[in-house]
Structure 1
């Protein structure tokens, strides 16, 4: 009987020791993983020679960080509702703020969208991530936007892509106009090789020159104005220019 009791105690002791060893290994792994991740966050901004940009895919509710044109990390996001859509275009981060709180969460990365105030920010509604529920901004989990905040400097380009076949609500667009639909025109001109700059929704001199160059290439009257007729030419000529 004495040996049976001792054997049980020995087995129990072995199980306890084994459990403690496993726990130490797991905790050690978590510790080193955490520190490795932390070091990675802190070291990335120091790589001043790297080109950093962000890409947001609205249909997929995803934000991707690129380093030197290589996909580095991807995050789930919430985007604007149908009534308050997120702005499609090529934007620039112009402002960074901490601890705004409330619906903006712990970090704010402001974008230079010309028709409103939009940004990438945290949230107090983490359950909304992956859905179309915002007023147009791009929501992230607070922990993830804090990570991104450390990596992304002011001046970073943010490319937002959405629908491939846009709807137009105006009959014409000309220099001085600012509108979401101008982004689609600019991207079409860029696809055809007539525009090299950002698609930022601003119909400036570069966009006017690109429109005029396209009109000239099509033997159309050159006035730099995008009419319904010219839009049809723009979209019909994509294949012929590829």
Structure 2
């Protein structure tokens, strides 16, 4: 009996609701609740029926060109010296691209160097007549005649072809100097000067005084 009464009550409720609807009343419905995740701006911009468009930033990594390097044999090292020159003498072997600073005890400090290109080779014995830190470069007239775009002068600095230090040889135009192109060490590319890596010419500069004997072979 109790079950019958419940069923009757449910039917009456449905009929009443239908009557209200027929009289222009709407049956109130529970409010729509949107999940916080679904209310995010990026989702509301998607098209109906489609999946959310996920935009992922792409990081483009471009490989850097490896800087030019020199052979390990041209890095500074101490070697045995069997020559007859006194300690403190600089001996430059242009054929093999090495500069030797003779040390005590039958040894020498060896550095890799760049030398004059074909047509600009030279040999002789001189002394260091002057030294300069971050020297100013003043290309001689002969060089400017060959290369008209060269400046009349360039103050010392990292971009200066003479590099960090210079040792001036006798009354010649030649120098032992640093370089802003260290990858040319071990090559014959200069106009006759002996070029070194900046860190190497700084080391040599600190070891030798004005008056040092220099033999170029």
Q: TM-score range by the shorter chain?
A: 0.3 to 0.5
Determine which structure has greater relative contact order: mean sequence separation of CA pairs < 8 Å that are 6+ residues apart, divided by chain length.
2
Structure (1 or 2) with the greater helix fraction = 1
The structure with more radius of gyration: 2
Tell me the TM-score normalised to structure 1 length. 0.43
